[in-house]
Amino acid sequence: EVQLVESGGGLVQPGESLGLACAASGFTFGNFWMSWVRQAPEKGLEWVANIKQDGSETRYVDSVKGRFTISRDNAQNSLYLQVNSLRVEDTAVYYCAREGFNSPLSFDFWGRGTLVTVSS
């Protein structure tokens, strides 16, 4: 059974940092692109970043470029998101998602998310 379990969220002040993690199991982690997708309270989903199977390519939504860093450790079956210089508008549930087996331009498995709250 595919499982994705996020951790690391919390309440921080503007300008502070957090490290999010996603533990993967039930599939060969190193075979898939992985993404972070976020959802602000009462809002729609927003793709944040993704990373290639071997970590050699990463992409980011413009609003987080230079502040967020996605990485992975295939030996530990883990995905990470370092979020720096946090802003109030970064407040959201952050989901770890696997880019699809049948179509890499969809997300076929999601974690339950970890909440990041940025407030003074």
Partner 1 sequence: QSALTQPRSVSGSPGQSVTISCTGTSSDVGGYNYVSWYQQYPGKAPKLMIYDVSKRPSGVPDRFSGSKSGNTASLTISGLQAEDEADYHCCSYAGRNTHVVFGGGTKVTVL
Distant-in-sequence, close-in-space partners of 34: CB < 8 Å, separation ≥ 6: 22, 24, 50, 51, 72, 79, 96, 97, 98, 99
Among residues 88, 86, 71, 87, the alpha carbon closest in space to that of 22 is found at 71
- Minimum CB–partner distance for residue 98 and partner 1 (Å): 10
- Minimum CB–partner distance for residue 110 and partner 1 (Å): 4
| 112 touches partner 1 by CB under 8 A | yes
Question: For the window 78-97, what string marks contact with partner 1 as x by the rule CB under 8 A?
Answer: -----------------x--
| 43 touches partner 1 by CB under 8 A | yes
| 52 touches partner 1 by CB under 8 A | no
Between residues 12 and 98, which has the closer beta carbon with respect to partner 1?
98
Residues engaged in binding partner 1 (CB under 8 A): 37, 43-47, 50, 59, 61, 95, 100, 102-103, 105-113
